[in-house]
Structure 1
Amino acid sequence: MANTTKRTKQWFERINGSKNMLWLLGTLSFLETIILPIPLELVLIPLMAANKHRIWLLATVTTAGCLIASLVGYGVGMLLFQSIGTWFIEFMGMEQSYQSFQTFFDQYGFAAILAIGILPIPFQVAMITAGLSGYPVLLFALAALIARGLRYFGLAWLVHRFGSRVLMLWKQQALATSLVAGVVVLVVALGMQALAGLIA
């Protein structure tokens, strides 16, 4: 844990002092979405607190990096599942999560992607499952954009409002907050789907 914290501080100092901060942040967001085992919030929250004049730009760049990574994961599921996709799921130890999400996704589709984008569940399973199933890429991208946009722009609002104290709150309440937000989004999305079905 101490090594992780030290490494995270080094990342923060390197990014915050770089002229290419936005590119580095976008790359970190991409890597975190694909494979990076360290939550991006550990770097992002201090970075937002230190750059409040660019806080919304930071949220935009982070969301964009995540969206691009999501589309790459979708492509892996659609085109390369039998080779790279299955290897990646086994390598990351996500077999159980993948199987569970398949059932969830088959039943709820768009709402399932929204929920997993907020819940503390690896988003990789949503990317690969959506691509493998042939789910419309534009709908997948929209769901990923909404879910991760809520995550990062919500975080930006909190940092703008409360400053660096958000990092401590996030460490203490990240799981509970993600669960509550994920359930709320899922309920709203399912309600909209049901309403659309009644209208149709």
Structure 2
Amino acid sequence: MKIFAPLYEKVMLWSKHKYAPFYLYVTAFIESIFWPIPVDIMLAPMALAKREKAWQFAFGATLFSVLGGALGYYLGNALYDPVVLPFIEAMHYQDKMITAQSWFSEWGVLVIFIASFTPIPFKVFTITAGVMSMAFWPFILTALIGRAMRFFLVAGLMVLGGEKMEAKLSKYIDALGWITILAAVILYFTLKH
């Protein structure tokens, strides 16, 4: 079933819109606090559509993601009971918070780097860093390094891949979409138990 190819074509059109950078930066900011959709979904097609601005997009995504992370930290540190806890309970994220806290206890600041660079939900760790009163500046520096590495890698792959990358993505987008959904389901059930 081909549902991802039409979506990909729409995303490529949207990525050329004059307000696309604004939406990218807003997404990067809120993804670090509560938004479930990764920034890469907007960054990759934008970097592919406008390769001359790819580094600017990666820089902006990094900056706004870290600023969002700082707000997530503040929410976890200062407003956990009145704001964060009801949201965690409504979203059934209690297990994720417990896991994040145990990872912080075991790995410290390295957890922020891992969450910044990998597909692990960054928002859970920005808030948990605040809840656990992690030192703020090491948190910011580590998040900045991890997020920059991730977003500049995505932009770099799009710049290097160019038109060949776009052609390959167009050809295999449906297979990649279904593989991603399958991987997400497997990861969900693996982390749930």
Asked if structure 2 preserves the Cα contact closer than 8 Å seen for 1:8 and 1:43, the reply is no
> In the aligned structure 2, how far is the partner of 1:88 from the partner of 1:9?
34
Which residue in 2 is equivalent to 1:80?
A: 79
Question: How many angstroms does 1:88 deviate by?
Answer: 2.2
Mean alpha-carbon deviation: is it higher for 123-132 or for 113-122? 113-122
Q: 1:36 to 1:128 in 2, by over 3 A?
A: closer
Per the normalisation by structure 2, the TM-score is: 0.77
- Which runs of structure 1 show a deviation greater than 4 angstroms over 4 or more consecutive aligned residues? 1-12, 165-175
> In the aligned structure 2, how far is the partner of 1:135 from the partner of 1:96?
20
Question: How many angstroms does 1:25 deviate by?
Answer: 1.6
Aligned residues: 176
Question: How many angstroms does 1:121 deviate by?
Answer: 2.1
Question: How many angstroms does 1:13 deviate by?
Answer: 3.1
Asked if structure 1 preserves the Cα contact closer than 8 Å seen for 2:39 and 2:61, the reply is no
> In the aligned structure 1, how far is the partner of 2:100 from the partner of 2:35?
21
Per the normalisation by structure 1, the TM-score is: 0.74
Q: 1:15 to 1:159 in 2, by over 3 A?
A: closer
Is residue 162 of structure 1 aligned with residue 169 of structure 2? no
Alignment of 1:129-168 (within 5 A): 129-163=128-162, 164-165=165-166
Gaps of 5+ in 1: 180-200
Asked if structure 2 preserves the Cα contact closer than 8 Å seen for 1:12 and 1:43, the reply is no
**CA RMSD, 1 decimal:** 3.1
Question: Cα deviation per residue 1:43-86 (whole Å; 9 max; x = unaligned)?
Answer: 22111011111110010011112111101100001100011111
Q: 1:55 to 1:108 in 2, by over 3 A?
A: same
Gaps of 5+ in 2: 188-193
Question: How many angstroms does 1:3 deviate by?
Answer: 7.7
What percentage of aligned pairs have identical amino acids? 27
Alignment of 1:67-106 (within 5 A): 67-106=66-105
Question: How many angstroms does 1:135 deviate by?
Answer: 1.2
